[in-house]
Structure 1
Amino acid sequence: MKSTKQFHQKLIRACQKNDKKAQLQLYKSYSKAMFLVAYRYVKDQFLAEDIMQEAFIKAFKNITSYKGEVSFGAWLKKIVINQSIDELKKKKLVMVSINSEIHKVQEENSTWEIDNSVTSQMIIEAINKQKEKYRLVLTLYLLEGYDHKEISEILGITEVTSRTHLMRGKKLIKEHLKFTNHAEGY
């Protein structure tokens, strides 16, 4: 047990000197366990792999701050957990933003009624299929939360043009979603 601890300490010192072979050995020692930690949080194999990779990159970049007060595994696990939580927050913020903006659009324009079977993903796909002038305004307004003044500054158009593109874009999305739902038998 003591020899394993000494071996890991030797590896960590080598990693602090940017030794790539030592980094690879530490990675091999901890990657499976750290993948499982990430997977417990995100429930997605590919995302867990990405998180684990990012956590190792962050750990190796900041390994000089590791002082040995806790085991290296515990230190690394904390990085993986924080990375996982950050990823979940990003996903949640995107979904909350999209969902709240969809409802906001419904409130702003009573003719903007969508069927309950329409998902946020379907709306995003419909936005992405629009002409660029509509897609940009729709994305900035609905998904990013910019107002017409900010959109006009970003795109170099007037606020009136921004409002017009939004109104026409929403109409096109509504038509697209109706067509998609009818084509799929809804």
Structure 2
Amino acid sequence: MFQIELVEKCKLNDREAQLKLYRQYCDGMLGVAMRFVKNYDDAEDVVQESFIKAFQRIEQFKGEVTFGAWLKRIVVNGCIDFLKSKNQRTVELNESYLHITDEQDWHVEEGITLEEVKKSIEELPDKYRYVVQLFLVEGYDHSEIAQIMNITEAASRTRLLRGKIQLKESLKDSAYGTGS
């Protein structure tokens, strides 16, 4: 059955179609959530809540993007809301879920480990960390980040630039042993 047919059946509250979509996207969305929240149980909770929200709001899905992209935005927003509600200062990134997108001016000095990159991202202030993670890890563009974070595109660009500068400085300090 095609994805659009499943979505249309979900709009009619077809439980079997909902289960098929859930099974199709559950693991991928769990990977997205794991990049934001600290542990598997919290990530599972966010994903479950996101699917509930998605099925409750399925009428809002117009097919302008894939269902997966639409659902991913719901999951990302759920993760950010979860972190804000828990007032968490760190985001644990599991290596098996980490996929940094290509970016022209992004490179890491030789000898910097993935653990050091993860630690440096975790130490960024929230307003920079979320934008850096959405852009570099999740692959969102500034327009999408602006919508997710409820900020302007200019603010997204500025926060990314400042976050990357802080991240690079932190990694440089780490590479040359000048950090704490």
TM-score of the pair, normalised by structure 2: 0.48
> Which protein, 1 or 2, shows the higher relative CO under an 8 Å CA cutoff with sep ≥ 6?
2
